[in-house]
Amino acid sequence: MRLLFTILVSLCLIAGCDNSENSIQPISNDKLLIIAHRGASAFAPEHTMTAYEIAHQADVDYIEIDLQMTKDGVLVAMHDEKVDRTTDGLGFVKEYTLEEMKQLNAGKWFNEAYPDLANKEFEQEKVPTLEEIFVQFGDDVNYYIELKSPRIYKGMEEKLFSLLKKYDLLGEDHSLPKVIVESFNEDTLTKFHTLEPTLPLVQLFSFKEKAALSHLDYERLQTYASGIGVNLKSVDQEFIHEAQLNGMQVHLYSIKTENEMKNAIHLDANGVFVDNPILSELQ
Ligand code: G3P
Ligand code: CA
């Protein structure tokens, strides 16, 4: 049954659903991609160099980086628009210059929140800039980068694009794309598609109820995206197969337990966002 389905998807990709006219780099669909959600966020403070290093050591396929932007226009790794939850500071990222952001501690909160996982060294953690992450890891890892809140950060697409060029991360000569860009915001993805048509883009969805996309949705997605990112609890195998038949890779977020990982594998997902990279051993 799975073989028949894989043949169908391949035929569909060859026949009609692929994006060759846009020459979008395909995201390989012959293995389940392991994406370290905010780095190895189950073991270290999310979006810190240590969380990314642990994910890299665990040999994940991608490290996931959520982007915000400082007052002076620097891209930094952080999930929330505010620094309150993951630093010892208060207020919006957009109100901090980079110099001010670098005064904040990005690890103490984790030791307080997870005493069993606490580590004194986490107290040295700072909020990393995207450029520092590229300098640290260079070509050794693949990057899955989320454009967060693009409506409040004018020009964040161009800043990301120029950093990817500066660190030569746009090449296509890799088995897996070196960079995937994702967002819940369609406008920012279509804008990025004009900046770099070959870079694979993933449209994120957060379905309150059962995931559902119309034929028109897929027609629009096929003009810019290589995949969709969907919350695990909203999907079933029928939805995932339909998306794959429409040329979309399906990446599920976020997987926290063994059962959720087994479920994602059973659903024929193409990728999973995991807080704990060791869950990849279940495949
Ligand atoms: O980016 C995929 C997934 O991470 C989306 O949810 O809130 O963790 O960014 P969030
Ligand atoms: Ca994310």
Which ligand 1 atom sits closest to the C-alpha of 148? Answer: 9
Rounded mean pLDDT, 68-76: 98
Q: Is the CB of 275 under 6 A from ligand 1?
A: no
Burial (Cβ within 10 Å: 0-12, 13-18, ≥19) of residue 138: exposed
Q: How high is the pLDDT of residue 17? A: 47
Q: Pull the structure tokens for residue 182.
A: 């994702």
Give the closest ligand to the alpha carbon of residue 65: 2
Angle at 55 between CA 85 and CA 182, to 5 degrees: 65
DSSP 104-129: S-SSHHHHHH-GGG--GGGGG--PPB
204's enclosing H/E stretch is strand 201-205
Q: In the predicted model, what is the mean pLDDT of the chain?
A: 92
Which ligand 1 atom sits closest to the C-alpha of 37? Answer: 4
46-71 tens-digit pLDDT? 999 999 999 999 999 999 999 999 99
d(CA 193, CA 182): 11
Decide if pLDDT at 242 tops 60: yes
Q: 29 or 204, which is more confident?
A: 204
Closest CA to 169 of 144, 204, 202: 144
Residue having the nearest C-alpha atom to atom 2 of ligand 1 = 253
Alpha-carbon Rg of the chain, whole angstroms?
19
DSSP 206-244: --SSS----HHHHHHHTTT-SEEEEEGGG--HHHHHHHH
Q: Which residues are catalytic, by number?
A: 37, 79
10-47 tens-digit pLDDT? 555 555 444 444 567 778 768 899 999 999 999 999 99
Confidence of residue 280 (pLDDT cuts 50, 70, 90): confident
Decide if pLDDT at 228 tops 60: yes
Q: Is the CB of 182 under 6 A from ligand 1?
A: yes
